[in-house]
Amino acid sequence: MHTVLSYVIAGWSGFFVMAVELLGGRLLAPSFGSGIYVWGAIISVFMLALSLGYLAGGRLSMHRPSVRKLGMLLLIAAVTMLPIMWFGDALLEAIAERFSDPRAASLLAATGLFFVPTFASGMISPYAVRLLVSERATSGRHAGQLYFVSTFGSAAGTLLTSFYLVLILEVNQILLAMMSVSVVIGAAACTLGTSNETARSDA
């Protein structure tokens, strides 16, 4: 079961990250427009946050990795989206008023809104790889399969969000729906992971 959950969490995390990145353009557009500066800022922040998240997730996986902890990472990524919904508009307005340079303003806004949840999401894939790899001989296969699932989830998140979700739902509704899915998956991983750990300790 932990193998299935690892793949599900990695795939959903990929979906989640790309959907939020696309919605980031919608969120920043009213205050900063939708030009190349805005998208350059969003993409840069997401890439930096993911790279640091990969590093942190790999290091965290060295200390008694478990499906429960992987589920907790997904829950953290979901919870850190709440400030975007609660304070996002106010933050964007404040930054727009204080910074006249659209490059600095959009970069600061993207960092304030998206860095933390993207960092948390970035920790998931390397952590999941550590759970799946039990033998050196199969490590490449497992890593390849997991990154396939994660990247496939990213592609699905990109297409579904840009082609369908933004046409039928408001941005906050989409964010809330994705957070709900993350909470359900993360809670399931925490519950099943705790059960497995208890069973092993009893044995």
Q: pLDDT tens across 156-201, in order? A: 999 999 999 999 999 999 999 999 999 999 999 998 876 555 444 4
Q: Is 163 exposed, middle or buried (0-12, 13-18, 19+ CB in 10 A)?
A: exposed
Q: pLDDT tens across 92-147, in order? A: 999 999 998 889 999 999 999 999 999 999 999 999 998 888 656 567 787 889 99
Q: b or e along 24-55 (b: 16 or more beta carbons within 10 Å of the residue's beta carbon)? A: bbebbeebbeeeebbbebbeebbeebbeebbe
Distance CA 19, CA 33 (A): 19
Using a pLDDT cut of 70, give the percent of the chain over it.
92
Using a pLDDT cut of 90, give the percent of the chain over it.
75
Domain 2-196 belongs to what topology?
A: Growth Hormone; Chain: A; (1.20.1250)
Specify the range with the lowest mean pLDDT, choosing from 44-48, 130-134, 148-152, 185-189: 130-134
Q: What is the mean pLDDT of the chain?
A: 90
Per-residue model confidence (pLDDT) at position 137: 59
Could you tell me where the DSSP H helices lie in 33-61? 36-60
Distance CA 106, CA 102 (A): 6
Give yes or no for a contact between 10 and 145, defined as CB atoms under 8 angstroms apart: no
